[in-house]
Structure 1
């Protein structure tokens, strides 16, 4: 990597510590954006209150693990703390996609000892980007069709309410979504696992929220979509059929000749991005190995015609 992942520790609206110097604008943004827009009002009394937030900041995709560390601001008021990974956009597909792996690393983060290499080693061991079996297991736990519906919903709506009964299950669904979501969405939208006021104007684009009657007004119309983790329902969009085929290819589990799973996965991630941006993509032009294979096949076919 020619640019490091930068780690930060922040208390809400207070000082920010980072492992490398950052622009003043980034530092100021972390003071508020590393935290949910609408946390639970009683979080000071909730010892284990924590969650995850994903948001763009300049050329970084930021993943924040926020929690109640019993800290207070300069006025003595209780505030949340956050441990943040600032991942350069061009490396996010490899090192930031698996939210669960990044969150697990951030849980034990200490700014004074954090290192870029320790993060890369940890993610390589834990991330589904490097482990096809883990990604297939995750997809199969919901069913490929519902994962396709969930990604389609996120891709097709500016805001989405993700309703749940079992929060852990909902977080696993979000994990599967972010493993395949177009990078341009990640670099323009935000997600929070905590939102106590889903009608708030400052809320994140995608939020987890308990319960809710998705049969009625909570659907939010065209602007706000919904995912109901318990029922398997979701607002529809226009990418479902393509996503379903993509996920079927992943689950099929047949290796592409000469490509490692990491290479194949990163290549497959080009497809949702192309669909979302409306551009055509030729897979062989996105992979040197596939290009060489195509050239070889064309040469063989030419000889067969002699």
Structure 2
């Protein structure tokens, strides 16, 4: 039997542990709520305090906040963000999923010894390095190959593709590894080829929710990326006419202009409204991930 002193020490440690974990969770929740409140209050001030129309902000094509009167059409920024995000996901998703299948099903030994360190290296490279490589290598290549200035939506898509590829690949590897070995062996025993087993059993059925989550997480990172895209996309406020046209994104617009505005001004609040849009999109990505996760567990 344990002595009363040991029981007292155990209860005391358990109580301290509960208090510490409760305080930590409370700080995390309060910090999140404070950030949401701060961004929302600043972003909504554009429409309630400065008299900017929400419709004009969302679908307007003219951006000149310093004019008289100011024009606050953020559609070029919104389109730029969505185009580079969707474009990079369309390129990175098949590459990441294909790499994950190669690492787990085709050649696990090469995947563990070669591919895994490469993916970890790509994850650790700072975004400014991706942007600088794009500025030094990709922009001249696009300029010489297709003409124009080189700074374009296509450049932003290609840079983001490389940046989100490790995220999609790593999460896809985890999703494929979770497929029960019995399912694969049963498929092979019934006469299916290895590719039929990979496509019909692993990709389309067992690991599909995890693969979708990997793609959405990659899109979330692409949507919020600022520096690398800012260095290669051209940062214009015009509606892009093609993939070779320069454009802008919400994150680039905020980082380039926030330091040049007066707090509380219509210009400053309009940039906070862009930040509010980014926050809303992040919440949407999170809700999608949770919904897919629940569907996958059902």
TM-score by length of 2: 0.22
Task: Decide which structure has the larger Cα Rg and report it.
Answer: 2
Point out the structure with the larger strand share: 1
- Higher RCO, Cα 8 Å, sep 6+: 2
Point out the structure with the larger helix share: 2
